[in-house]
Amino acid sequence: MSSENYKEKTTTQGERSLNFLEELIENDLKAGKYTSIVTRFPPEPNGYLHLGHASSICLNFGLTEKYPGYTNLRFDDTNPTTEETEYVESIKADIQWLGFSWKHERYASDYFEQLYNFAIQLIEADLAYVDDSTAEEIATLKGTPTEAGKNSPYRSRSIEENKDLFLRMKNGEFPDGSRTVRAKIDMAHTNMLMRDPVLYRIKHAHHHRTADAWCIYPMYDFAHGQSDSIEKVTHSLCTMEFVPHRELYDWLIQKLNIYPSHQYEFARRNINYTVTSKRKLLQLVNEKFVSGWDDPRMPTISGLRRRGFTPKSIRVFCEKIGIGKRDNMVDLGLLEFCLREDLNKTALRRMVVFDPVKLVITNYDKAVEMLQSENNPEDENSGTRDIPFSHELLIERNDFMEEPPKKYFRLAPGKMVRLKSAYII
């Protein structure tokens, strides 16, 4: 779709106003910066998706439904010790159940060779080095927000030595944690994340896709922006905690001279009485407090599905809570309201008696009569169903009293009531 056609999808009078990301995209399209957009949903396959992910899914996929472009599903599988194929399959199933389709299915591991070459490119430009410091030493030398850090004693290694050590890291010559590759930026930078951040670490662990082909893995900050660039993502959407990371995101893209993807941040929407930390949810699963990730008590998408929530109710909920730049607490009751609204329009009506009392109609002579009842009064196309009616019926015990109080409008001696889809008795 060309940039001239996208206007057909913008808001019209009477619709909700644009959020700040929609305004940004519309301005980019109008200015000719892009003719179409590319977003991505990048989950780490180390757990099942939950309500918080649903908001990001609806945002990324929703924008490319509204504007010309597409969304990639990219698995951020850079930590082999926590990721499993089970989680990959569950994530794909949940996104499809919500009603979205991705253009390309990608994995950060697809780019391991390219990311390795990017790191060599930085080393050759004297913008990265191999550091033998331990994690504790790196943290100590980093300084504080009010105090500059100190250079690593290995920062001045030659380019050739760094290249040799990095190759040997790749070949598996060193144990876990013995060496890292760090960007060479500024240990006095006001942004702590710019103080020579770690780009690569050694992990001798089996990877769910690449098996044992690699024993060095890129850090999130190195894999994230470069994967965006490889896929030519135009709008890389993250939550607000990644605001400090944007400077490093831009620095790496600039120094590598690759496609300039851009990161934009939006606020989380926390839900009251709801735990969405994957670490805590995993603890509930591992310690058998719940039957699994899809236990109906869990705030996971698969748990909500088992509890009876519909895809539309979750999508409408995400639309109602909106997108902003400040963290906000959302009432869980809003999600339940969205479900009631959806079910009210779509659910077929059925009657059930939990605590039955026999009712005998003495002046009804027919054996059995079939009466018609609406399947859904909110949907004229839902049709009707036949209900058998006879002189013996079962009613709810709470719907009858022998000695009722005033203003009791159910069945009692001397009182008349209408039976649902039937007669007045």
Residue 328, beta-bridge partner list? 269
pLDDT in tens, 80-107: 999 999 999 999 999 999 999 999 999 9
**Contact in structure between 52 and 45 (CB atoms under 8 Å):** no
Query: Which of 85, 41, 43 has the alpha carbon at shortest distance from 64?
Result: 41
Percent above pLDDT 70 for the chain? 96
pLDDT band at 368 (very low <50, low <70, confident <90, very high): very high
Instruction: Answer whether residue 299 shows pLDDT above 50.
Output: yes
Query: Which of 262, 206, 191 has the alpha carbon at shortest distance from 40?
Result: 262
Beta strand segments in 36-126, E: 37-41, 69-75, 105-107
Residue given tokens 């930026």 in the structure block: 185
| Tokens read off for 256 | 């590598």
Residues 6+ apart with CB under 8 A from 255: 122, 125, 127
- Active-site hit among 44, 65, 341, 369: 44
Phi and psi dihedrals of 53, rounded to 5? Answer: -65, -35
Instruction: Answer whether residue 12 shows pLDDT above 70.
Output: no
- Active-site hit among 195, 278, 305, 315: 278
pLDDT band at 112 (very low <50, low <70, confident <90, very high): very high
Is-catalytic flag, 15? no
- Active-site hit among 268, 269, 305, 315: 268
- C-alpha torsion angle, residues 159, 161, 166, 171 (rounded to 10): 140
Is-catalytic flag, 268? yes
Query: Which of 196, 175, 190 has the alpha carbon at shortest distance from 131?
Result: 196
Question: How far is 312 from 91, CA to CA, in rounded Å?
Answer: 18
What is the average pLDDT across 25-44?
Answer: 98
Percent above pLDDT 90 for the chain? 90
Name the average pLDDT for the chain.
Answer: 94
A 10 A CB-CB count for 363 gives 6
Q: What is the pLDDT of residue 379?
A: 87
Look at residue 88 and give its three-state secondary structure: helix
pLDDT band at 367 (very low <50, low <70, confident <90, very high): confident
Rama region for 53: left / alpha / beta (φ>0; ψ in -120 to 50; rest): alpha
pLDDT in tens, 279-297: 999 999 999 999 999 999 9
Question: How far is 179 from 135, CA to CA, in rounded Å?
Answer: 9
**Contact in structure between 224 and 76 (CB atoms under 8 Å):** yes
Q: For the packed helices 51-66 and 85-98, what is the interaxial angle rounded to 10 degrees?
A: 50
Query: Which of 55, 18, 45 has the alpha carbon at shortest distance from 270?
Result: 55
pLDDT band at 15 (very low <50, low <70, confident <90, very high): low
Maximum Cα–Cα distance across the chain: 104
**Contact in structure between 232 and 38 (CB atoms under 8 Å):** yes
**Contact in structure between 216 and 201 (CB atoms under 8 Å):** yes
Is-catalytic flag, 201? no
Instruction: Answer whether residue 2 shows pLDDT above 80.
Output: no
Query: Which of 209, 185, 213, 214 has the alpha carbon at shortest distance from 198?
Result: 185
Look at residue 71 and give its three-state secondary structure: strand
**Contact in structure between 326 and 267 (CB atoms under 8 Å):** yes
Specify the long-range contacts of residues 332-339, CB closer than 8 Å, at least 24 apart: 332/271, 332/272, 332/273, 332/274, 335/51, 335/271, 335/309, 338/313, 338/314, 339/308, 339/309, 339/310, 339/313
- CA triple 248-253-255, angle to 5 deg: 90
Question: How far is 82 from 79, CA to CA, in rounded Å?
Answer: 6
**Contact in structure between 155 and 129 (CB atoms under 8 Å):** yes
pLDDT in tens, 387-421: 999 999 999 999 999 999 988 999 999 899 999 99
